[in-house]
Amino acid sequence: MIHLKTAPELETMRRCGRAVAEALKAMGEAARPDAQTQELNEIGESVLASHGAAPSFKGYRGFPAAVCISVNEEVVHGIPGDRPLREGDIVGLDIGAQIDGLNGDGAWTFQVGEVSREVRRLLNVTEESLYQGIAQARTGRRIGDISHAVQSYVERNGYSVVRDLVGHGIGRGLHEDPSVPNFGRPGTGARLRPGMTICIEPMINQGKAGVRVLKDRWTVVTRDRRVSAHFEHMVCVTDGAPEIMTALDISRGGYGQTQAETEN
Ligand code: MG
């Protein structure tokens, strides 16, 4: 069942979204060579606290931290620890914020120092695929329109969409209906209505789509151990343009993107 949010609920979710965005930005700035992933987790948790928000992920189905931190071939759900980041790594940061029983959720993949041109292109394409999906999040369209927009952009650029994990509705539940796959056919699935809040979150692999879960029972990695990127915004469907509730105060194309590179 899809819950449409009231105006007061949306106002609280905007606060959650701002906490998420500021936590992502602060963690991204700290994602430098030699930083440990647990240090990023502490930064993220303290930014949430400064917004009066609790970490939605901590204890969710037993997850032990505030932030999912996934490096290189790790797709999502990595557990923070003493692993130091290295020049050329990419680090996916995914964080949820809860205020008054409502949630916000967002993710961003940052580069650590300078990364290869190939890896930067994966980040550019994945970020752009998120915006291609968001552009479809309009009243009267369907979930499948979002899914198809993400998939077709990604595959046109030569990458693979992870099938085992999908985006989701959000509100009082961290994960609510509807599911928002990053693959699918246009004109299918639930029809979008004002007040729907969804998380669109392409998880995109440089190589093949296959993933597996490590022995820690959380960390999802690519089967071929090639790198993977993840970008997520929480979006509200409105009467007009989609509202990005986790908008980050960092410039788009912050990886030195040019259109020519993306379309190569
Ligand atoms: Mg999510």
Q: Which domains does the chain have, with CATH numbers?
A: 7-263 (3.90.230.10)
Rounded to the nearest 5°, which phi and psi values hold at 258?
A: -125, 155
What's the 232 CA to ligand 1 centre distance in angstroms? Answer: 7
* Paired sense of beta strands 203-205 and 211-213, if any: unpaired
- The CA-atom distances, in angstroms, between 58 and each of 19, 54, 75 are 15, 9, 19
**DSSP annotation string for 18-55:** HHHHHHHHHHHHH--TT-BHHHHHHHHHHHHHHTT-EE
What's the 210 CA to ligand 1 centre distance in angstroms? Answer: 19
- Report the pLDDT value the prediction gives residue 249, as an integer from 0 to 100: 74
What's the 261 CA to ligand 1 centre distance in angstroms? Answer: 28
Judged by DSSP in three states, 100 sits in: coil
Q: What is the pLDDT along the chain (264 residues), one digit of tens a residue?
A: 999 999 999 999 999 999 999 999 999 999 999 999 999 999 999 999 999 999 999 999 999 999 999 999 999 999 999 999 999 999 999 999 999 999 999 999 999 999 999 999 999 999 999 999 999 999 999 999 999 999 999 999 999 999 999 999 999 999 999 999 999 999 999 999 999 999 999 999 999 999 999 999 999 999 999 999 999 999 999 999 999 999 987 654 443 333 334 443
- Report the pLDDT value the prediction gives residue 60, as an integer from 0 to 100: 96
- Report the pLDDT value the prediction gives residue 264, as an integer from 0 to 100: 37
Identity of the residue numbered 66 = A
Please name the residues in contact with 221: beta carbons below 8 A apart, sequence gap of 6 or more: 73, 74, 75, 211, 212, 213, 214
What's the 105 CA to ligand 1 centre distance in angstroms? Answer: 6
What's the 169 CA to ligand 1 centre distance in angstroms? Answer: 9
Q: How many Å separate Cα 85 from the centre of its chain? A: 20
Q: What are the structure tokens assigned to 133, written together?
A: 């999906």
> Over the Cα atoms of the chain, what is R_g?
17
Please name the residues in contact with 168: beta carbons below 8 A apart, sequence gap of 6 or more: 175, 176, 177, 178, 179, 180, 198, 199
